[in-house]
């Protein structure tokens, strides 16, 4: 007990850890405190922040730990959201269909884009991820049946078919997002601490040496790229359900730039840094916009 007590005290001496703990407490208590203060609007605000936090965690997995700066990562946010929106448009509202398809499609596109872009490095990697993502962006703009520039309204949220659990309930929707945020951070931590994560970090530090010992860094990076794409796709499908709306703006290159900025602001290669970065960035945006 004394050992764990010393670890806890050591962690609390770090201001970043204290701020992270405060942010998580705010997330957990907002649906309870905000209505009591007659500020229910903040429930939606913090739900949006958590969704962007999930997307930022996925960016940090490949950028912070893998050194891969993708300027098209927001495309998976759009793919996840549009999958939910298009399926709902055609009358398919079951979450057991929508969500696996959204995650699988995000992973498939990430696999294709990653297989192409990971053969390049540096600024060439940045530019090719941007170019590939903009192809999907302009495809969504040209899809007049699904709203084109005006976006697509989603008339019904994903239905799990479970009695007592409905995303139409604001509190249920909020804590579902909160659960996925914690899950994304946990998955990222487990990956980074595994042998897989060791290879990813080693390849970022010294790629030639990793390859010289017979490790195929390309496969590890591609796997990380796909996992990050799927994780960002989850953020997209959650955003589609929260807002009941999707638009091409979700996947434009500016959104990718904002995700990168969140990661840098919160701290690259840190566990909760992307979440705190998303919190600070979006809260400042709300304050300045107000």
Q: 56 near 234, Cβ under 8 Å?
A: no
119, burial (CB in 10 Å: exposed 0-12, middle 13-18, buried 19+): exposed
Q: DSSP 3-state assignment of 152?
A: strand
123: left (phi over 0), alpha (psi -120 to 50) or beta: alpha
**What are the pLDDT digits (tens) for 215-238?**
888 999 999 999 999 999 999 999
| Per-residue pLDDT at 223 | 95
The pTM (predicted TM-score) of the whole model is 0.93
Please state the rounded mean pLDDT for residues 262-272.
90
**pLDDT of 153 over the 50 cut:** yes
User: How far lies 78's CA from each of 86, 119, 120, 157, 279, in Å?
Assistant: 12, 24, 24, 17, 21
Tokens 């390859």 found at:
211
Q: Is 282 strand, coil or helix?
A: helix
- Other beta carbons within 10 Å of 78: 29
With H, G, I as helix, E, B as strand and everything else as coil, classify residue 165. Answer: strand
In this predicted structure, which of 2-6, 15-19, 47-51, 280-284 has the lowest mean pLDDT?
2-6
Token match 């509190």: residue? 171
The percentage of residues in the chain with a pLDDT greater than 90, rounded to a whole number, is 72
- Residues 6+ positions from 170 with CB-CB distance below 8 Å: 31, 43
Contact 64, 263 (CB under 8 A): yes
Question: Which pLDDT tens digit goes with each residue over 93-141?
Answer: 999 999 999 999 999 999 999 999 999 988 999 999 999 999 999 999 9
Tell which wins on pLDDT, 77 or 270. 77
* Percent of the chain's residues with pLDDT above 70: 94
Q: How many alpha carbons lie under 13 Å from residue 176 in its C-beta half-sphere?
A: 20
């Amino acid at each position: 007990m004394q050992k764990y007590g010393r670890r806890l005290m050591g962690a609390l001496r770090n201001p970043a850890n204290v701020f992270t703990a405060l942010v998580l407490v705010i997330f957990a208590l907002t649906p309870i405190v905000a209505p009591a203060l007659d500020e229910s609007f903040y429930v939606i605000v913090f739900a949006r922040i958590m969704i962007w936090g999930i997307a930022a965690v996925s960016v940090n997995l490949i950028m912070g730990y893998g050194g891969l700066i993708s300027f098209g990562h927001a495309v998976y946010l759009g793919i996840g959201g549009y999958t939910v929106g298009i399926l709902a448009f055609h009358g398919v509202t079951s979450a057991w269909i929508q969500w696996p398809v959204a995650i699988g499609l995000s992973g498939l596109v990430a696999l294709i884009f990653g297989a192409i872009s990971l053969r390049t490095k540096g600024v060439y990697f940045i530019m090719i991820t941007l170019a590939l993502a903009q192809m999907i962006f302009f495809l969504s703009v040209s899809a007049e049946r699904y709203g084109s520039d005006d976006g697509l309204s989603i008339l019904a949220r994903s239905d799990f078919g479970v009695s007592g659990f409905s995303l139409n309930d604001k509190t249920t929707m909020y804590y579902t997002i909160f659960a996925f945020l914690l899950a994304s951070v946990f998955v990222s931590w487990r990956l980074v601490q595994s042998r897989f994560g060791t290879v990813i970090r080693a390849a970022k530090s010294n790629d030639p040496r990793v390859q010289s010992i017979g490790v195929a860094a390309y496969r590890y990076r591609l796997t990380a790229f796909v996992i990050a794409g799927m994780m960002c796709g989850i953020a997209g499908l959650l955003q589609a359900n929260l807002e009941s709306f999707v638009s091409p703006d979700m996947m434009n290159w500016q959104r990718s730039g904002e995700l990168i900025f969140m990661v840098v602001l919160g701290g690259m290669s840190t566990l909760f840094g992307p979440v705190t970065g998303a919190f600070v960035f979006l809260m400042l945006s709300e304050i300045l916009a107000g």
